[in-house]
Structure 1
Amino acid sequence: MSAHAGGIELQDDLNNKVVLPQPAQRIVSLAPSVTELLFSAGAGSKVVAAVDYSDFPEEAKTLPRVGGYTQLDIERILALRPDVVIGWKSGNHPAALEQLRKLNIPVYITETRFLDQIPTTLERFGLMAGTQAQAQQEAEHFRNTLHRLKTQYQHKTPVRVFYQVWNQPLITINRQNLINQVIEACGGQNVFAELNTIAPRIDVEAVLKANPDAIVASGMGIERPEWLDEWLKWPAIKAVKNHQLHFIPPGHIQRQTVRVLLGTERLCQQLEQTRHTMDGQP
C-alpha cells in the first residue's frame, strides 16, 4: 500500500485494488466493526454514515444510518457522496457491493478473521483517511499488547475450553475464527476446533463428551447470560465441578476490533484461574 502525489493505492482483504485520488474525507462504513476500527484509526470525524448496531465508541451511535449490514440502502449511500465505502465480505450482500462499484464508488472490502489482521487493517484505514500517525500508534499498541499476553500465557499448561456463543440453539466456534485465536493466545485449547463450520451447532451430549476444563460464554449484552448457569445441571463436567463458568462481554471478544485485547486479557486471567483448579487432576 502507498500514498503519493498521484493518490493512494492499496489492496483490500480480497486483493482488490482500491485507488483514491487523495485521503478520503467522506467514508461510509458497512459493518459495526469497521466503524469502530475507523474511530480507532483516527478517522471517526470522516465517517459520514454507518449501518445499524454501530454503537462504539459513543459518537458512532449518532451517525446517520444506511440500513443494516445485510440490507443496505444504496440510494442513501449515493446521496452521501462518499469518497470510499468500506464493506464486510461475510456480512454485506455481494450484489450490493458490486452495484456500488458499478456506480463508480471506491469500495474497500474487509474480512478480518485473525488477530494479526486487526493492526494491519488499522494501518490501511489510516492510509485511506490520511490519519496514518494515530493509526500506526494504535496498531503498534495492539501488536505489543498481544505479544505480551502471548508471552505470558500461551505456553502454560493447556486448558480445554468450550466457548458458547448462544444457548438455543447451542452454538460454538471452530478454529477458523478470531475467538479461537484468542483462546490459543491464552494457552487454551478449543474443544470444538476441528468442526467444519465457523459457528457450528452442537448438542449437550457433545459438550459432555468433550468434558472441558472451562466453559466461556458471551451472549448478547454486557451482562452475564442467565443460561450459562444451565450447565450446573451437569456436575460431571470438569468446568462445572470446579466452578469454571466464565463470561466475557461480546463486544470484547466477538468483534474484530481493538477491544478484543480486553477480551483476551480477561480470558487469559480466567484460564489462569482454571489452571489452579486443575492441579492434581488426572
Structure 2
Amino acid sequence: MKLRFGIAWVSALVMTQAHAITVTDDTGASVTLAAPAQRVVSLAPHVTELLFAAGGGARIVGAVSYSDYPKEAQSIPRVGDNKALDLERIVALHPDLIVVWRHGNAARQMDRLKALGVPIYFSEPKHLADIAASIDKLGALLDTRSIAKQAADAFTRDISQLRARYAQRPPVSVFYQVWDDPLMTLNRDNVFDEVIGLCGGVNVFASEQARVPTISTEAVLAANPEAIVTSTPGATKPDRALPALERWKRWTSLTAVARGNLFGIDGDLINRPTPRIATGAAELCRDLETARERRPK
C-alpha cells in the first residue's frame, strides 16, 4: 500500500513539473506557475492592456487606477494606484499571478507583495520588440498562446511597416516634452525614443544620463529642434492639463516655432508600452512628415 502511494505521489510530482510554465520577466528573473494563471492582479495600466492583448482580460480580478483600456477593463475592481496598493484587497482576491510595473509601483510595498508567496511577473518593456515579447510571455502564463501570438505578430507587423516607410526619410530633430514645470524630457532608454527613430526622427536629448532628465529652456533653444512633441490628455485624465506648448511661441527664432512644428499626441498612445503605441507611432510619423514638407524649398 505504501509502495503504491509512493508511486502515485512521484507520478503526480512528475506530472506537475511537466506541466509547469516558466518564463523570464523584464528583470531577468524566472517566473514559474504550476498551472496556467486563472486569477491575475494587474498593477499598472499598461499591464492591463497587455493582458487583454494576450487573451487574459477575463482573468484579471484586480487592477489599479487608470486601467481604462479596453472598455471592459473599466469594470475590473480597483486595488490602488501607482502610489499606494490595497494589499488586503489583493490578498482577498486570491490571485495566482501578480503582474507589476517595476518602476511605477510603490517600491516600499514590493517586499510585502513578495511576502504573499504569489508568483510575481515584473513588466517594463524598454524596446518595441519587448512589447511583442511581453504579450507572448503573458500568453504562456495564461495558456492563451495562439491569441497572444496573433496580437504580438500584428503589432510587430505594424511597427515593421512604419519603420520600412519612414526610418530612412530625411532626419528630423525632435524635442519630446514630457512635462513643463519643471521642464522634462526622455533620454534614449525608453520605448518612445525608438518610436522617434523609426519615424526618421532624432531625439535631441537622447544622450542625457537620466532616463527622465530635467532640462532648461536654454538647453532646448541651444538644441534648436525642428519639431517639438508633447502628449495630450486621452482616456487618462491627469491632475492638471498637460502643457499645450504655448510657452515656446515667444521664441520665434526656434525652428520648430518658425515652421509651426508643435505637435500633440494622445498620451495613452505614446506613454504606455502596449500595442496601441503603434497607433501613436503612426501619428508621430505623419507629424514628422509634415515637418519635412514645411522645410524651405
The question of 1:258 aligning with 2:275 is answered yes
Residue 160 (structure 1) aligned to one of 173, 179, 198: 173
8 Å Cα contact 1:167/1:227 also seen in 2: no
Q: What's the CA shift for 1:95? A: 4.4
Q: What's the CA shift for 1:94? A: 3.9
User: Comparing 111-120 with 70-79, which one deviates more in the overlay?
Assistant: 70-79
Separation of aligned partners in 1, 2:219 and 2:82: 33
Q: Which residue of 2 aligns with 1:122?
A: 135
Separation of aligned partners in 2, 1:67 and 1:33: 15
8 Å Cα contact 2:179/2:242 also seen in 1: no
8 Å Cα contact 1:166/1:219 also seen in 2: no
Q: What's the CA shift for 1:102? A: 2.5
Q: Is the radius of gyration larger for structure 1 or structure 2? A: 2
The question of 1:139 aligning with 2:152 is answered yes
Relative to the length of structure 1, the TM-score reads 0.94
Return 5+ residue gaps in structure 2 as ranges: 1-15
Residue 195 (structure 2) aligned to one of 178, 182, 206: 182
**RMSD between aligned residues:** 1.8
Separation of aligned partners in 2, 1:13 and 1:225: 30
User: Comparing 10-19 with 154-163, which one deviates more in the overlay?
Assistant: 10-19
Separation of aligned partners in 2, 1:200 and 1:119: 27
8 Å Cα contact 1:161/1:214 also seen in 2: yes
Percent identity between matched residues is: 42
Q: Which amino acid aligns with 1:134?
A: I
Q: 1:211 to 1:65 in 2, by over 3 A?
A: same
Q: 1:1-282 alignment to 2 at 5 Å?
A: 5-221=18-234, 227-280=244-297
8 Å Cα contact 1:179/1:253 also seen in 2: yes
Q: Which amino acid aligns with 2:106?
A: H
8 Å Cα contact 1:97/1:107 also seen in 2: no
Q: Which residue of 1 aligns with 2:4?
A: none
In the TM superposition, structure 1's runs of 4+ consecutive aligned residues that sit over 4 Å from their partners are 222-226
Return 5+ residue gaps in structure 1 as ranges: none
When the two structures are aligned, how many residues end up with a matched partner? 278
Q: What's the CA shift for 1:225? A: 5.0
8 Å Cα contact 2:180/2:243 also seen in 1: no
Q: Which amino acid aligns with 1:245?
A: L
Q: Which amino acid aligns with 2:186?
A: I
Separation of aligned partners in 2, 1:207 and 1:38: 38
Structure 1 residues 170-196: Cα deviation after superposition (integer angstroms, max 9, x where no partner): 111111111111100100001111111
Structure 1 residues 107-144: Cα deviation after superposition (integer angstroms, max 9, x where no partner): 11112121110000000111111211111001001111
Q: 1:235 to 1:64 in 2, by over 3 A?
A: same
SS in 2 for 1:193: coil
Q: Which amino acid aligns with 2:286?
A: Q
Q: Which residue of 1 aligns with 2:11?
A: none
